[in-house]
Structure 1
């Protein structure tokens, strides 16, 4: 069979190949746009602006995840995922939630200003939170396309959304040299995303509707997803919350530049697992046959090779990349990027397991894993900050991923997805890459360590 023939047709394999290429290609284009924007904006704005915006984004992500009732994964895995009444009920829940989130953000603006001692947050939070209200109107056509692995037009529209947001942000930064450029660009991007997906994705548009049985299924599935996303917020954002509180704002801005580089592989892995793995696990459950398990092993090895190779680049070359692209104010971001890239390797090895529980409709066990990860992340970051400042926090960040492995194994075994041979092999690869990265970048890491203690 020719390479092109493998991409054609409606079989699961063909759809996975097409969706994988589109997801990776779209991610690559997205990160090129994101990188260009970052390089330009770091020259037009000041480190504190990125620190302020990081605080705003952490708060907004927290609001979103503290109220997530799992509409997207519910549609992805439900037998009624293509039913109009089910979809319109899901959309109605989503819209009401968006309005509620914006009101909560307005109410929380003053407390956030007091906690972090940054007066500008009082105005920034209500305006930035308009993105939550706007994205509540996202059409379920976006999820439906993902459910059936038809991602071509979705990927293109994502690119358009990002280009518009970046263009607006750079234009406003040139004009104002203010953090408000980042705020307004986010709101404009959210509005463009909703409008063009509503207009250009195929399928009927959503309307307000309430069906009790659909709502019962959504809420029944979503209650554990809600708890899992609350835990997921603390797991994924604890570094921003704690480091943003305990280090100076300019250093926090530099940390976020380092995180920007180190986060590329994690973002790619998250995108692949969310967009592709639930449909794969739903259609080929590993518990049904050895053949299914072996198919998933091939997929898992391919994804892990991609992610470990990607993170290895930033682990080895992080300092060189930052030295090349940024001015002297941001040089410590290179060492931060190297340490974070190494710290994320354990998470990338097991990233393909998480979605098995959601695909099987077992949101409760998914919550248990999320809760364990959140507790470990907060504890390790606090211990690290107390012991060695920012450097200790970065080490704690990696330790949390390692310590969560037994819980990952528990979940993966329940779903019939655990593959110890895969994990052992890529652990060896990760150790080799980490040793090489530390050896190459040791001088920069020592310099950063001296400043962070």
Structure 2
């Protein structure tokens, strides 16, 4: 009982890290459960083309977000000034300016994007969904302060409440209109509720406009490499949709997006835990400083990977069955997408947190170099695979690119004393076993993806 009380209320790093990890898993898992509920309802009220259109909208918005990223959150998490009012207010001011510029960008680029994808609906959809970028720019930095201190309980409740609000609004609009605007209304409502709940329900001061030159200098110096890194990171997170969105029909892209939603759960959850928990842990216990620090992080990574690979087994082995149970026959081909994407994500799961060790040490340049290499390898594999074997080849090529990216990631991890051969050996072997079993069980469903192939 004393140990349980320590985990629930203790303030040392391990206890805060474990508590924050559990809250992050709870928050992300709850959020994905809400998204799944939304998908299950909306796929019955809307047509696959609606999901294809929105996947293109999110690709574009994610691109704008990445190519303008100044790394403000990462700066607050790792900076020695991360709790000073002048620094936080200056960071918030930069964030608001960025959000406004991104919204203007969606208005100016809507027509060219609609023409590129031959989807006229994007002319109206992009500027309205672009409102979410402006809304996110207004979020106070007390959210980042809570993350820096690994105090995530109230933020988890806020995130889930906002997503549930978006679900209610989206289902209501879908019931009345039966159009893609239900997905738009859901996104705008969720972000607006999220902002209001942080402003009024999260402890901490409200930001005010400020322009302190030393703070701007620090933010820009650290953020310039984050800016370049997230431009490359855009290809890592959205490269498949960029390529496939150009060649697949909107219906096929909508089916692919449903499969991606399920299969990406473990790796996106892992990335969120790494961002919210591991950066503060690496900052407070740099593995290069002592063997004790290294072993503490090793234990955390092992626990994190055991949980994530457990989830990966579910989607790699049972993904086809899950799709058949959860969705109607129009989305049956998404089962093969789930199985194959789960296999392809294994290399990312093995190397999770290595780049966060660099960010915690302030090495945003090293983070940029490795992210660029990973993006180049992944996009090369995606394009070559698509040319040789359509959709299936594109996804396999993406996975091969991620395997080749292991070596540069190891070099970055070694620089900061974070490379963990024991961890990687165990989970490379585990991943190979998962991939073998998944291919054996789901081979016919993966072959059936030829029905969605590129022309």
Map 1:187-198 to 2 at 5 A. 187-198=188-199
CA distance in 1, matches of 2:301, 2:423: 8
CA distance in 1, matches of 2:106, 2:33: 31
Give the number of aligned pairs. Answer: 453
CA distance in 2, matches of 1:278, 1:128: 31
SS of residue paired to 2:208: coil
CA distance in 1, matches of 2:178, 2:206: 40
Map 1:2-401 to 2 at 5 A. 2-401=3-402
Unmatched 5+ stretches in structure 2: none
CA distance in 1, matches of 2:106, 2:99: 11
CA distance in 1, matches of 2:385, 2:69: 30
Asked if the contact 2:391–2:449 (Cα under 8 Å) also holds between the matched residues in 1, the reply is no
Q: How far apart are 1:245 and its partner, in Å?
A: 0.5
Q: How far apart are 1:7 and its partner, in Å?
A: 3.1
Q: How far apart are 1:401 and its partner, in Å?
A: 1.0
Q: How far apart are 1:243 and its partner, in Å?
A: 0.6
Asked if the contact 1:109–1:122 (Cα under 8 Å) also holds between the matched residues in 2, the reply is yes
Q: How far apart are 1:275 and its partner, in Å?
A: 0.3
CA distance in 2, matches of 1:420, 1:37: 41
Asked if the contact 2:81–2:87 (Cα under 8 Å) also holds between the matched residues in 1, the reply is yes
Unmatched 5+ stretches in structure 1: none
CA distance in 2, matches of 1:148, 1:25: 18
Q: How far apart are 1:83 and its partner, in Å?
A: 0.3
SS of residue paired to 1:441: helix
CA distance in 1, matches of 2:233, 2:362: 18
Q: Normalising by structure 2, what TM-score?
A: 0.98
Q: How far apart are 1:4 and its partner, in Å?
A: 2.6
Q: How far apart are 1:443 and its partner, in Å?
A: 2.0
Asked if the contact 2:59–2:242 (Cα under 8 Å) also holds between the matched residues in 1, the reply is yes
Q: How far apart are 1:450 and its partner, in Å?
A: 5.7
CA distance in 1, matches of 2:402, 2:139: 33
Q: How far apart are 1:298 and its partner, in Å?
A: 0.5
RMSD value, Cα: 1.0
CA distance in 2, matches of 1:55, 1:28: 25
Q: How far apart are 1:448 and its partner, in Å?
A: 2.5
Alpha-carbon displacement from aligned partner over 1:189-220 (angstroms, at most 9, x marks no partner): 11111111011111111000110000000000
Runs of 4+ in 1 over 6 A off after TM superposition: none
